[in-house]
A and B are shown apart, each in its own frame.
Chain A
Amino acid sequence: MIKEILILLFSWLVSIYLLLKYIPKESKRYAHITFIFVQTIAWIFEYLQVLFGLVEFPFREFNTATKMSFSLHYFIYPTFVVFFIFLYPTEKVKLRICIHFLIFAIAIATYSIVIEKYSSLFYFKKWNWFSSVISNLIILYIVKKFVFWFKKGLV
C-alpha cells in the first residue's frame, strides 16, 4: 500500500511540476480547457473499462465509493494529454503528426503497463499494452478535435 501511495504522490508531484514549469502563462486557458476536457473523457473511458470488466483498480483512493481509480484519471492522464496538445507539431506533415500521436499513445500505455506490473494500482483483466495504445490513439484524436475547435474562440 505504501508503494501505491508513493507512486501516486510521485506522479502528482511530477505532473504539477511539469505543468507549472512548461506551460506558458499566456496559454493558461488553452491548457485548462484541454485538462478539464480530458478529465471528462478519461472518466467516461475508465467507467466503460470497469463496466465491461476489462481492467480493475485493486488499490483505490476512494475504496468504497467507487471501483475506479481517482488520481490516474483526474490528474495524471490529463497532464499527459496537455503536453500532447502543447507539443503538437505546427508543420502539417502527415508523417510527423502520426509519429506525434504514436509517441504519446505509447508513452501513456507504457506508463500504465509499468504501474500494472509493479503495483496494484492497475490490474489488466482483458487488457494489454496494444489495446491501450489503440484506445489512447482514439482518445487523443477526440481531444485534439475538440481543443482545436475550441481554440478558434480563444485569444
Chain B
Amino acid sequence: MNIDRWLLIGFSLLCIIAIIKLLPREKVRDAWVLYLFLQIITWPAGLFAVEMGWIEYPTQLYPKANEYNRTSFSFEFFVFPIVAIFFSLYYPNKMKRKNSLIYYISFAGFFTIVEVVLERYTTLVKYHEWKWYWTLISVIISLYLNHKYYLWFRKRLVKVESR
C-alpha cells in the first residue's frame, strides 16, 4: 500500500484518539453540533473548488474514491470537522479582539502549513489554481461561521446526567 495512504490512516486515527481522549463526556452534544454544521459549508465549497479545477486529491483513503467523488472525504468529513470541534470547545470566551484573531490564525495557520507540506511532498492534495492563503482564509471563515452558529445553538443546550 502506498505511503500516502498510510498517512491518511494515521491522521484519521489521530482524530479518533483525540475525540476519545480530549472530548469531555458532557460536551458530546456540543461536539455533534460543531461536527455536523461544518459540512453545510465544506460540502458545497469543496465540490465547487474541485469542479472549478482549482484543487485535487489524487490519493484518497479508499483507493477508487476518485472515480466516484473527487472531493476529499477525509478532509471534509473527518479531519476538518474534528479540528473545528476542538477549536470551539477550547475557545477562550473572555478574550480580547486581538487575541481571538491570534487564536483563529494559529488554528488556521497550523492547518495551512500541514496542507502545504502535504501538497509538496505527497500526492494527497494537489494545488492547481489554489494558493496556500486560500486555505488560510477559507478555514478562518469556516471556523468563524461554525463557531457563531455553535454559540447560538448552545443557548438551549443543557447538561444531562445520562448520555
Minimal Cβ-Cβ distance residue in A for B163: A149
CA of A61 to CA of B51 in the docked complex: distance in angstroms?
10
Q: How far is the CA of A20 from the CA of B158 in the complex (A)?
A: 26
Which of B43, B44, B67, B158 lies in contact with A67, CB distance below 8 A? B67
Inside 8 A of A129's CB, which chain B residues have their CB? none
Q: Is the CB of B69 within 8 A of A40?
A: no
When distances are taken between beta carbons in the complex, the residues of chain B under 8 Å from A64 are 50-51, 53, 70
Q: Which of B31-39, B92-100, B127-135 contacts A (4 or more CB under 8 A)?
A: B31-39
When the two chains form their complex, are residues B160 and A152 in contact, meaning their CB atoms are under 8 A apart?
A: yes
B152 to chain A, nearest CB (A): 8
B50 touches A36 (CB 8 A): no
Contact residues of B: prevailing secondary structure: helix
Answer yes or no: A107 CB below 8 A from chain B CBs. no
Task: Select B156's contact among A29, A47, A65, A152, beta carbons within 8 Å.
Answer: A29
Binary interface encoding of chain A residues 108-136 relative to chain B, with 1 for a CB under 8 A from any of its CBs, else 0: 00000000000000000000000000000
Kindly supply a per-residue 1/0 record for chain B positions 125-161, scoring 1 wherever the CB is within 8 Å of any chain A CB and 0 otherwise.
Answer: 0000000000000000000000000000100111110
Give A contacts to B, CB under 8 Å: 29, 32-33, 36-37, 39-40, 43, 47, 50-51, 61-68, 70, 74, 150, 152-155
The chain B residues found within 8 Å of chain A, CB to CB, are: 29, 32-33, 36-37, 39-40, 43-44, 47-48, 50-51, 53, 67-71, 77, 153, 156-160, 162
Would you give 17 A-B contacts (Cβ < 8 Å), ordered by A?
Answer: A29-B153, A29-B156, A36-B40, A40-B36, A40-B39, A40-B77, A62-B51, A65-B51, A65-B70, A66-B69, A66-B70, A67-B67, A67-B69, A68-B68, A68-B69, A152-B162, A153-B159
A-B contacts besides A65-B48, A67-B67, A152-B162, 16 pairs, CB < 8 Å: A36-B36, A37-B32, A37-B36, A43-B77, A47-B68, A64-B70, A65-B69, A66-B47, A66-B70, A150-B29, A153-B29, A154-B29, A154-B156, A154-B157, A154-B158, A155-B157
